[in-house]
Amino acid sequence: MAIPKLVIFDCDGVLVDTENLANRRLAEWLTAAGFATTFEYCRKHFSGRSMVSVQQEIEGTTKARLGADFVERWNAGLPDLFSHGVEAIPYVRDFIDKVRASGIAYCVASSARVSKMYITLGQTGLLPLFEHAMFSSTMVSRGKPFPDLFLHAAKTMGCAPADCIVIEDSVAGTEAGIAAGMRVFSYYADPLSDRDGLAAAGGILFDDMRELAGLVPIR
Model confidence over 123-182: pLDDT tens digits? Answer: 999 999 999 999 999 999 999 999 999 999 999 999 999 999 999 999 999 999 999 999
**In terms of DSSP bridges, do strands 134-136 and 16-17 run parallel, antiparallel, or are they unpaired?**
unpaired
Total-model pTM: 0.88
The share of the chain scoring above pLDDT 90, in percent, equals 88
C-alpha–C-alpha distance, residues 63 and 74, integer Å: 20
C-alpha neighbours within 13 Å on the C-beta side of residue 65: 3
Q: 35-68 in b/e burial notation, b at 16+ Cβ within 10 A?
A: bebeeeebbbbbbbbbbebbbeebbeeeebebee
pLDDT above 80 (res 91): yes
Which helix H or strand E contains 205, and what residues bound it?
strand 204-206
Query: What local confidence, expressed as pLDDT, does residue 211 receive?
Result: 95
Q: 219 pLDDT exceeds 80?
A: no
- The per-residue pLDDT for range 185-199, each reduced to its tens digit, is 999 998 888 999 999
Catalytic residue IDs:
10
